[in-house]
Amino acid sequence: MESPFKSDILHGKVALITGGGSGIGFEISTQYGKHGASVAIMGRRKAVLDSAVSALQSLGIPAVGFEGDVRKQEDAKRVVESTVKHFGRLDILVNAAAGNFLVSAEDLSPNGFRTVMDIDTVGTFTMCHEALNYLKKGGKGRSSSNGGMILNISATLHYTAAWYQIHVSAAKAAVDALARNLALEWGADYDIRVNGIAPGPISDTPGMSKLVPDEIESKAREYMPLYKLGDKWDIAMAALYLASDAGKYVNGATLVVDGGLWLSRPRHLSKEAVKQLSRAVEKRSRDAPVGVPKRSKL
């Protein structure tokens, strides 16, 4: 789909996207680049990074890739510094790196739980921590009047509860809390906006292939009336809005982009059944004798 935004809304900006070589992260990288930003992507697999950088450059986007693991502080520090060295500044950090798999709570080992927490939560904080000196107002390559932006890719799993996703629910709940607290502290002290996006099920992503196989998707509408697949483009457009001047007054928010799915509840009765039941209940209520309260002896 064609973007509704002007092609230069991120002109002159530099963005670093973790997990930017595939899935949602790559689409954000692409759309940021198409709208004027220079893009650095971080990931653990060199082949994926090289392919993604080649694809971005073929679109005329200034792009570079850096190998690194968000769980390792030394990697985070090196990639942030390399990005600034390459492009001269850093304006936007997108934390899109994540880990996930389906597992029941009793079958999830503490090590498996810790791994997801380390990638999603600790990794997000580590990247923010290492990027602070470059995102804050007056940081290297920045003016003394305004800071940059941090965007975390979250989820809606923890808004209620989710089957077989206790590890990710805990991790993303912490990511949302991290965003709010950093928005307060770093917004006040350094003029850095910190926000999040909570995607719904997005087609053609690694998460969908692992978490929502065809057997589940075919039955989803039976218990999720608002279930429908979104596109990576939908998330990237939200990311553009939050990174642009259009979102300059948004801080500490997590924008849900799921078509309302998290609100879904099973439809226990059809509309016609509701009408019939309502008429019967109202008639019974009208026909019922009105009781006269006994007079108090007092």
Average pLDDT over the chain, rounded to an integer: 90
To the nearest whole percent, how much of the chain has pLDDT over 90? 72
In a domain, 296, yes or no: no
Give CA–CA dist 64/6, Å, rounded: 24
Q: What is the pLDDT of residue 13?
A: 97
pTM for the model stands at 0.88
Give CA–CA dist 63/53, Å, rounded: 6
In a domain, 235, yes or no: yes
In a domain, 294, yes or no: no
134's enclosing H/E stretch is helix 123-135
Q: Cβ(255)–Cβ(154) under 8 Å?
A: no
In a domain, 4, yes or no: no
Question: Does residue 20 carry a pLDDT above 80?
Answer: yes
In a domain, 218, yes or no: yes
- What 3-state DSSP class applies to 153? strand
Model confidence band, residue 139 (pLDDT cutoffs 50, 70, 90): very high
In a domain, 72, yes or no: yes
In a domain, 246, yes or no: yes
Q: Kindly list the distances between the CA atom of residue 107 and the CA atoms of 103, 111, 164, 240, in Å, as whole numbers in the listed order.
A: 6, 11, 9, 39
Domain ranges, residue 283? 14-287
Q: How many domains does the chain have?
A: 1
Question: Does residue 227 carry a pLDDT above 80?
Answer: no
In a domain, 3, yes or no: no
- 79: domain CATH number is 3.40.50.720
Q: Cβ(123)–Cβ(95) under 8 Å?
A: yes
Model confidence band, residue 249 (pLDDT cutoffs 50, 70, 90): very high
Give CA–CA dist 185/252, Å, rounded: 10
